Chain A
């Protein structure tokens, strides 16, 4: 099981960030997540595998400096 925005989500072996986001409603403005505290940006969503028991937070729209 993993936590996504404080909600439990079933974990599957090989699961990527992109796989998780496909399960979430309305993520059109999500370009960055924190995976166990580390920043993962959209170009790496497909390649980044999620370990079991991970904690993920979807970051808000990047707003610049």
Chain B
């Protein structure tokens, strides 16, 4: 790799806005079409209603995408914000960035919450939020330099195209003496050539003296960055302390930070041990509870799952501090050093792999029938370097493998690849093809929704079977949990605003294991409170893991243990300490509710956001095939007889599959009704006028969208 060569094509010097109580009250807008750079104040009413983070992103996106209908229209905006609490060193999970854009996969807003230092550095450089619109006519790199108080746009050529080398090169280029001052957002060639490109957000790991990264994975945010010809966005900033946010009450901030961090230090080792194993502890737990996706979500467990769980990765992970933000006590961002890939452009070299996390292990391991920790590492490495979302990659290839094994597609379609479950080389070859935009990989890179259409139209595959087994909803591939036995989590996926990602609600154990919400009303209440509270983390620039993955020892004695209310109170205290607004736990829910409903209406504005779009493939609800049914026959027979009162003695397995399906699909529709009622939506899934008025988002343009969809 030669020296980085960038040519400055636009420079704007600015007066850096001081951060006060978590906010700079400034937004930065960069339109690549004309290299226009604009800094605007953030209106007080916007601040009050949208809070920050995802709320700001959505508001500024709404302004930008007035007339567009396609993700690759130049007007599409890619927005990044850190939220008022983001950038608090020492507060566990206190440095997240939130990215939104119109998704290439769904055509509607997508949001992704990601670690790395970019969000805080951007804010301390003077901007609560940045919006990137337009398209450059050549590859560009954008620098937000909070030390020099300058915004620069460079033309870029001959840069490394993979994120692994590019982030490292730019970090050293922009501050070779203090690389810790730099954070880089990059995508990669896979993002250019697929619809599920991710963004890599970097930080400099001073202990290991190397650039590390986390991913804003879902929905194609990297694809949008690549479409705008942005090779990288770089933030540069200097020292950060607890005073950097200029909190309203520094002592209160220190107290709540110390309290929460101390608890995690004391209890993580006794609980999930995330500081040692990340989220790989979930692999054996999900496997034991029949929730680990295996063979395209057909089954929930596999005898070999033990070899891809925490027992293995704990010994492979490199020892050392692994926080993706400064001083984070959870420190779950583990990696593997000196890994040597056996395929692709890095074959035979030694690389550092950031990961894997549970989702990657499940999606690119068990779901593909790959029970080999090292192959999963290689998939993880190439997905990151190419800028590919490991969840969409794993779920999409799982779909392809099941189609292949059922003869819906053959080697004639796959370019000779025998894509049976367990094919490690075939999987890696597909990923290399996706990155190059070549061969069958180019088709897979369009995602499951488009594959279903292509396979049906071009390969004459059975569309109904593909609809049942293609694990996507709203166009987004499922994240990695089996939901067949949890109606609440079916709602958690199917009713999620952006598509089936678990960051809105994860209710499987409460529902399936503990039977904590037996009625539709119970489930609807959970599908109100949990999505609202989880949304709040993305309004503020925080990670959700410290909330409920390490819990107080007396939590089980509390009134509502599932909500971990002691921590919710700490978050309210955290918000009060930074912003100076006296805040209660209930206030956090209200903040989120306004933004949540606004996002739903944004979906509506883009032509979605109604009941018909809250659908699920049947495999998310129950057994599609005779093979699936018979693998858990005792369970399903018992439900038909005991729960539904059927006499099944004369029914063959196919008839039982059909009978169970009828019941489960009806239940899901009933759940939708209950959730819509609880959220203050019409039975078509649209917020009512009363709801938007109650939440204070009854802006004229919101009411116009509602009226255009029959809500007066």
Interface of A toward B, CB cutoff 8 Å:
5, 26-32, 34, 38-39, 41-44, 57, 59-65
Q: List 30 A-B contacts (CB under 8 A).
A: A5-B270, A27-B556, A29-B556, A29-B562, A31-B285, A31-B289, A31-B513, A32-B285, A38-B311, A39-B281, A41-B284, A41-B288, A42-B289, A43-B288, A57-B271, A59-B271, A60-B271, A60-B272, A60-B549, A61-B509, A61-B562, A62-B285, A63-B509, A63-B548, A64-B481, A64-B509, A65-B357, A65-B358, A65-B359, A65-B480
- Evaluate contact between B288 and A44: CB separation under 8 angstroms: yes
Least distance between A42 CB and chain B CB atoms (Å): 7
Interface size grouping (class) on chain B: 35 or more
Specify which chain B residues have a CB less than 8 angstroms from the CB of A28 in the assembled complex.
514, 556
Known contacts A61-B509, A65-B279; 6 further A-B pairs (Cβ under 8 A): A26-B557, A29-B514, A29-B516, A42-B289, A59-B271, A60-B272
Least distance between A29 CB and chain B CB atoms (Å): 6
Choose one: B506, B509, B561; the contact of A65 (CB below 8 Å): B506
Flag whether B555 is at the interface (Cβ < 8 A): yes
Choose one: B272, B310, B508; the contact of A59 (CB below 8 Å): B272
**Quick one: given A29-B556, A42-B513, A65-B282, are A60 and B289 in contact (CB under 8 Å)?**
no
- Evaluate contact between B555 and A60: CB separation under 8 angstroms: yes
Least distance between B309 CB and chain A CB atoms (Å): 8
Query: Bound complex: CA of A56 vs CA of B11, how far in Å?
Result: 60
Flag whether B550 is at the interface (Cβ < 8 A): yes
Query: Bound complex: CA of A27 vs CA of B561, how far in Å?
Result: 12
Flag whether B510 is at the interface (Cβ < 8 A): yes
Specify which chain A residues have a CB less than 8 angstroms from the CB of B16 in the assembled complex.
none
Query: Bound complex: CA of A39 vs CA of B309, how far in Å?
Result: 11
Query: Scoring B residues 64 to 90 as 1 if CB is less than 8 Å from chain A, else 0, what string do you get?
Result: 000000000000000000000000000
Flag whether B427 is at the interface (Cβ < 8 A): no
Flag whether B502 is at the interface (Cβ < 8 A): yes
- Evaluate contact between A64 and B289: CB separation under 8 angstroms: no
Query: Bound complex: CA of A28 vs CA of B551, how far in Å?
Result: 15
Interface of B toward A, CB cutoff 8 Å:
270-272, 279, 281-282, 284-285, 288-289, 310-311, 357-359, 479-481, 502, 506, 508-510, 513-514, 516, 548-551, 553, 555-557, 561-562
Specify which chain B residues have a CB less than 8 angstroms from the CB of A43 in the assembled complex.
288-289
Least distance between B634 CB and chain A CB atoms (Å): 14
**Quick one: given A31-B509, A39-B310, A41-B284, are A61 and B289 in contact (CB under 8 Å)?**
no
Query: Bound complex: CA of A37 vs CA of B634, how far in Å?
Result: 33
Least distance between A12 CB and chain B CB atoms (Å): 24
Specify which chain A residues have a CB less than 8 angstroms from the CB of B513 in the assembled complex.
31, 42, 62
Least distance between B162 CB and chain A CB atoms (Å): 26
Which residue of chain A has the shortest Cβ distance to B287 in the bound complex? A41
Specify which chain A residues have a CB less than 8 angstroms from the CB of B285 in the assembled complex.
31-32, 39, 41, 62
- Evaluate contact between A5 and B281: CB separation under 8 angstroms: no
Specify which chain B residues have a CB less than 8 angstroms from the CB of A61 in the assembled complex.
509-510, 514, 548, 551, 561-562
**Quick one: given A31-B289, A31-B509, A41-B288, are A64 and B502 in contact (CB under 8 Å)?**
yes
Query: Bound complex: CA of A25 vs CA of B358, how far in Å?
Result: 31
Least distance between B522 CB and chain A CB atoms (Å): 15
Which residue of chain B has the shortest Cβ distance to A28 in the bound complex? B514
Specify which chain B residues have a CB less than 8 angstroms from the CB of A42 in the assembled complex.
288-289, 513
Which residue of chain B has the shortest Cβ distance to A27 in the bound complex? B556
Query: Bound complex: CA of A27 vs CA of B555, how far in Å?
Result: 11
Query: Bound complex: CA of A41 vs CA of B272, how far in Å?
Result: 13
Query: Bound complex: CA of A61 vs CA of B595, how far in Å?
Result: 28
Query: Bound complex: CA of A28 vs CA of B514, how far in Å?
Result: 7
Query: Bound complex: CA of A48 vs CA of B3, how far in Å?
Result: 59
Least distance between B286 CB and chain A CB atoms (Å): 9
- Evaluate contact between B271 and A65: CB separation under 8 angstroms: no
Specify which chain B residues have a CB less than 8 angstroms from the CB of A44 in the assembled complex.
288
